[in-house]
Amino acid sequence: MLRTRRKRQTAEAERAVVRLAEIRASVAALADDDLLDLADIFAGDTPTPLGAIAAAEMAKRNISL
């Protein structure tokens, strides 16, 4: 039972890492205007992971809101 649970948790963690990489790649593939729109949507008082990813990509491209 414990081995099965560990295998399941490991598989879930691996899928999460792949999904995060896909999200980062999707954000990186956005055109500048679309990236700015995404960053604007997630700009707010409460920081979010997607907002942080968008902000990092904007910094990489040297663009700002």
Q: Return the exposure string of 26-53: e unless at least 16 CB atoms fall within 10 Å of the residue's CB, then b.
A: ebeebeeeebbebbeebeeeeeeeebeb
Question: pLDDT class for 2, splitting at 50, 70, 90?
Answer: confident
Residues 5-58 pLDDT 10s: 999 999 999 999 999 999 999 999 999 999 999 999 998 888 999 999 999 999
* pTM summary value: 0.80
